[in-house]
């Protein structure tokens, strides 16, 4: 029981997880508003508005900044992690999603293929989705008390 209490009292961890969870809930709601269809997969899936990856790493970074200061080693590590995650979300993972879309279109048009499959296209994020997630994480770090 002491471990659970310690985890729940870890400000940095609570902010990072709360940022991720909030982004996933918002993503599910926004997707429902846009498509008029409730897809609970959005609570756990990648891609979409806002970026939960960006929210969690920016929440983590801001929480570390508030708890330990921007001159701490931990802040430097969190900041670099956030930069890598957000770059990957808009770069590599977004490109992979575009490739998946192209492959899916080719598969639909090719009648010679015996085994049909569909690749997941929602892998990465647009820059706006990443910025929205980043701002969400930063805001949550200031909402949750230290």
pLDDT of amino acid 88: 85
Mean predicted confidence (pLDDT) in 3-23: 95
* pLDDT over 80 at 126, yes or no: yes
- Domain range for 45 is 2-143
Q: Residue 137's closest CA among 10, 26, 16, 44?
A: 16
pLDDT of amino acid 115: 66
Reported as a single tens digit per residue, the pLDDT across 111-123 is 666 666 666 666 5
* pLDDT over 70 at 77, yes or no: yes
Cα(59)–Cα(78) distance, integer angstroms: 10
3-state secondary structure of 42: helix
Burial call 103-120: b when 16+ CB within 10 Å, e when fewer: ebeeeeeeeeeeeeeeee
Cα(139)–Cα(17) distance, integer angstroms: 13
Number of domains in the chain: 1
pTM of model > 0.85:
no
């Amino acid at each position: 029981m002491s471990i659970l209490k310690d985890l729940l009292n870890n400000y940095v961890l609570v902010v990072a997880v709360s940022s991720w969870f909030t982004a996933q809930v918002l993503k599910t709601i926004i997707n429902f508003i846009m498509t008029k269809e409730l897809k609970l997969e959005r609570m756990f899936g990648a891609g979409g508005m806002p970026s939960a990856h960006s929210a969690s790493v920016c929440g983590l970074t801001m929480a570390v900044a508030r708890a330990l200061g921007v001159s701490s080693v931990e802040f430097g590590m969190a900041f670099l992690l956030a930069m890598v995650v957000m770059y990957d979300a808009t770069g590599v993972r977004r490109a992979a999603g575009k490739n998946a879309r192209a492959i899916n279109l080719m598969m639909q048009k090719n009648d010679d293929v015996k085994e049909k499959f569909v690749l997941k296209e929602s892998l990465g994020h647009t820059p706006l989705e990443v910025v929205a997630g980043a701002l969400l994480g930063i805001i949550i770090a200031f909402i949750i008390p230290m």
